[in-house]
């Protein structure tokens, strides 16, 4: 007997491009990404869903995840904090993704900070790879990770979006520990 995972797809127009969101019956996000990165999202969904079959349906109504992200982009940064995310990935990736959600909105950590946070201080490169494989953009805030020298390093949505997201969070939380290069 094949168990089919039923998922819902929704879209959201944002100041930095169109987001695609995929969640399940329980409202747990499985993937969030920018539309032009759709091929990457499909690969991640297949890799991390854990289900032998996936049925993807258009969301019949606005989902709570889309509403929360809409509020985040409108300046209510805490709106995404309580969104549930589906498990997936390796135990190491899940540890990194969980730690990403601990980075306070408006602040940044380096990859080395993140590696120390999960108790693997020498795993900086592996942390970078796990960060890059994050299937749930913005809600699992990989955009808040920067190089040890303060540089804005890779982001699946592009450096310009990363810069915009960090500036958006900085505007809404003045005084946060945000280290942007000049």
* 77 and 173 Cβ atoms separated by less than 8 Å: yes
The catalytic residues are: 142
CA pair distance 20, 9, nearest whole angstrom: 7
3-class DSSP string for the chain: CCCEEEEEEEEEEECCEEEEEEEECCCCEEEEEEHHHHHHHHHHHHHHHCCCEEEEEECCCCCHHHHHHHHHHCCCHHHHCCCCECCCCCHHHHHHHHHHCCCCCCCCEEHHHHHHHCCCCCCHHHHHHHHHCCCECCCCCHHHEECCCCCCCCCCCCHHHHHHHHHHHHHHCCCCCCCCCC
Burial class of 62 by CB neighbour count within 10 A (0 to 12, 13 to 18, 19+): exposed
């Amino acid at each position: 007997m094949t168990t089919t995972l039923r998922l819902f797809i929704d879209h959201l127009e944002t100041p930095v491009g169109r987001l695609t969101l995929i969640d399940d019956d329980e409202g747990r996000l499985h993937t969030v990404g920018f539309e032009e990165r759709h091929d990457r999202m499909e690969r991640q969904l297949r890799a991390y869903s854990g289900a032998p079959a996936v049925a993807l349906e258009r969301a019949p109504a606005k989902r709570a995840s889309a509403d929360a992200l809409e509020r985040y982009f409108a300046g209510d940064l805490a709106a995404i904090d309580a969104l549930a995310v589906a498990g997936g990935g390796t135990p190491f990736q899940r540890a990194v993704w969980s730690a990403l959600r601990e980075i306070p909105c408006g602040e940044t950590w380096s990859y080395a900070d993140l590696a120390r946070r999960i108790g693997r201080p020498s795993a900086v490169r592996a942390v970078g790879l796990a960060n890059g494989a994050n299937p749930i953009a913005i809600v699992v805030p990989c955009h808040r990770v920067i190089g040890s020298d303060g540089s804005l390093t890779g982001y699946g949505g592009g450096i310009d979006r990363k810069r915009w997201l960090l500036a958006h969070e900085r505007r809404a939380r003045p005084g946060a520990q945000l280290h942007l290069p000049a």
